[in-house]
């Protein structure tokens, strides 16, 4: 069951906030949420530290506790990371480091999945691609989101609009009637999108941070079936090459308005064994 992946930072002057890991039977992608510098995080460690800590715990637990539900594994991992820095950082700060989670685990009879926030899982089935992602955040701060599309990327006005958007979203983060991200709140795990599909029905899977899934869901280079075909034929690095080429063709976000000129991008390609 070969697993391959590729990951690239969005810029050369800051560390990536994506995290990717895999072992036999488990693969995951985390995409840390960027925090505008004027809003702060209350944490001395930063988002790259957070995603690395959370990702390694998720991988180890998913691989060594095959009978445990992914929600329980995720809750335990969030709690363990919070305990690592609750004495040095303000975990109640609305900008405390946080992340998406897209996690797959292959068992004897089923493929289990868990999704928190906007990373994307694509499962190749006989009836076509099945997409798993969590876009509940899109229901909030729609006016502020629209404002970000009015200005060229890199301008002071665009930076201010993105900061206003994040500030408007934060009150709804990890709230019962809001949206959920992996941060310091263990309850997040029980609001994740989860499920299982029979192992024999899935031949191939992909996991993408939104900096890679944009090739389909923002730039429209092809559909999800096309993406899976390209991963099988050309590989994960080719997909990221296409993302970067498309971003470079529209550096100001005039054709495809977005929050960053170039985002951290990660893609996993997993050829699944039949049962």
In whole angstroms, what is the distance from residue 248 CA to residue 164 CA?
Answer: 26
Task: Write out pLDDT tens, residues 75-112.
Answer: 999 999 999 999 999 999 999 999 999 999 999 999 99
74: part of which helix (H) or strand (E)?
helix 70-85
Give the pLDDT of residue 274.
Answer: 64
User: Distance between CA 205 and CA 121 in Å, rounded?
Assistant: 7
Q: Say how many domains are in the chain.
A: 1
Q: What is the pLDDT of residue 273?
A: 74
pLDDT digits (tens, 9 = 90+) for 11-70: 999 999 999 999 999 999 999 998 898 999 999 999 999 999 999 999 999 999 999 999
Q: Can you give 144-211 as a three-state secondary structure string?
A: HHHHHCCCCCCCHHHHHHHHHHHHHHHHHECCCCCECCECCCHHHHHHCEEEEEEHHHEEEEEEECHH
Length of the chain: 275
- Residue 236, SS3 per DSSP: helix
Domain of 95, CATH number, reads: 3.60.40.10
* pLDDT exceeds cutoff 60 at 1: no
Task: Record the pTM.
Answer: 0.96
Cα–Cα distances in angstroms (integers) from residue 231 to residues 21, 45, 51, 271, in the given order: 18, 35, 25, 10
148 vs 2: CA distance, rounded Å: 40
pLDDT over 60 (residue 74): yes
Task: Summarize pLDDT for 139-187 with one digit per residue, the tens.
Answer: 999 999 999 999 999 999 999 999 999 999 999 999 999 999 999 999 9
pLDDT at 251 over 90: yes
Alpha helices (H) along 190-267: 210-217, 224-234, 236-249
Domain that holds residue 161: 3-271
Give the sign of the dihedral formed by CA 223, CA 229, CA 230, CA 235: positive
> What does the block give as tokens for 193?
């999108």
Q: Which token pair is 171?
A: 């009150």
pLDDT at position 275:
58
Burial class (CB in 10 A: 0-12, 13-18, 19+), 176: exposed
The residue behind tokens 């991988």 is 59
pLDDT tens per residue, range 107-133: 999 999 999 999 999 999 999 999 999
């Amino acid at each position: 069951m070969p697993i391959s992946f590729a990951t690239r930072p969005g810029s050369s002057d800051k560390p990536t906030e994506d995290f990717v890991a895999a072992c036999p039977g488990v693969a995951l992608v985390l995409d840390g949420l960027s925090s505008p510098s004027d809003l702060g995080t209350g944490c001395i460690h930063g988002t790259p530290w957070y995603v690395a800590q959370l990702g390694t715990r998720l991988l180890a637990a998913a691989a060594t506790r095959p009978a445990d539900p992914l929600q329980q594994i995720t809750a335990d991992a969030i709690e363990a990371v919070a305990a690592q820095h609750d004495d040095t950082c303000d975990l109640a700060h609305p900008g405390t480091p946080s992340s998406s989670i897209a996690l797959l685990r292959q068992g004897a009879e089923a493929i289990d999945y868990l999704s928190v926030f906007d990373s994307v899982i694509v499962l190749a089935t006989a009836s076509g691609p099945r997409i798993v992602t969590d876009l509940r955040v899109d229901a909030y701060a729609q006016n502020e989101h629209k404002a970000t599309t009015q200005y060229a990327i890199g301008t002071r006005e665009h930076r201010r609009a993105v900061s206003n958007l994040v500030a408007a979203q934060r009150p709804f983060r990890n709230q019962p009637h809001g949206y959920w991200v992996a941060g310091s709140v263990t309850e997040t795990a029980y609001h994740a999108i989860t499920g299982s599909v029979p192992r024999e029905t899935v031949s191939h899977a992909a996991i993408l941070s939104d900096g890679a899934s944009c090739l389909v869901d923002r730039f429209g280079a092809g559909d999800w079936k096309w993406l899976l075909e390209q991963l099988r034929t050309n590989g994960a690095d080719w997909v990221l090459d296409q993302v970067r080429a498309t971003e470079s063709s529209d550096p100001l976000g005039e054709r495809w308005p977005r929050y960053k000129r170039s985002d951290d991008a990660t893609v996993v390609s997993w050829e699944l064994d039949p049962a």
